[in-house]
Homo-oligomer: A and B are copies of this chain.
Amino acid sequence: MLSVELSCKSEYALLALIELAAHYDTGEPLQIRQIAAQQNIPDRYLEQLLATLRRGGIIRSQRGAKGGYTLAREPWKINILDVIICLDGLENQPKDQDNDTQNDKTVEGAVILEIWQEAHHAANEILQKYTLQDLRDRRDSRQQLDFMYYI
């Protein structure tokens, strides 16, 4: 219910977004197939994730032949927390029904929840300070390094 986990979903989405960020300069859309092949992601699954990202305003889509996906804004204006919230959080609604039965509003439960929210907040601050541009840059310099070692 209140988690900061690196799931397949998050990882796949970020991998795809790194690709989109890398091709952002060209202005051309990228197709699901290309991304999926590049990053070894099941394409039908990736399709769902991209649909979610689109509804969340992270990416834009172009339908029809020669269509595909592009980032909705510049890579340095999309941070990782945006992505995570879009994927997991969009339908974590208030859900404050069931107030007739004391669902679990014990004092102890509230105290624990409080601390968890604090931890959760600390993690979110980290995720918020990194953008897709940062991911792309890190990827590039890392690959540069690998090449240096190779020769």
A123 at the interface (CB under 8 A from B): yes
Majority SS at the chain A contact face = helix
Contact, CB under 8 Å: A123 / B6: no
A146 at the interface (CB under 8 A from B): yes
Contact, CB under 8 Å: A135 / B107: no
Distance between Cα atoms of A4 and B138 in the complex (Å): 25
Counted per complex, copies of this chain come to 2
Chain A: interface residue count, which band? 35 or more
Closest 8 A/B residue pairs (Cβ): A3-B5, A119-B126, A119-B123, A123-B123, A122-B122, A4-B4, A6-B116, A111-B138
> Which of chain B's residues has its CB closest to A8's CB?
B1
Contact, CB under 8 Å: A126 / B115: yes
A78 at the interface (CB under 8 A from B): no
Distance between Cα atoms of A109 and B126 in the complex (Å): 18
Which of A11-19, A25-33, A62-70, A93-101 lies at the interface with chain B? A11-19
The B-contacting residues of A in range 112-143, CB under 8 angstroms, are: 112-116, 118-120, 122-127, 130, 135, 138-139, 142-143
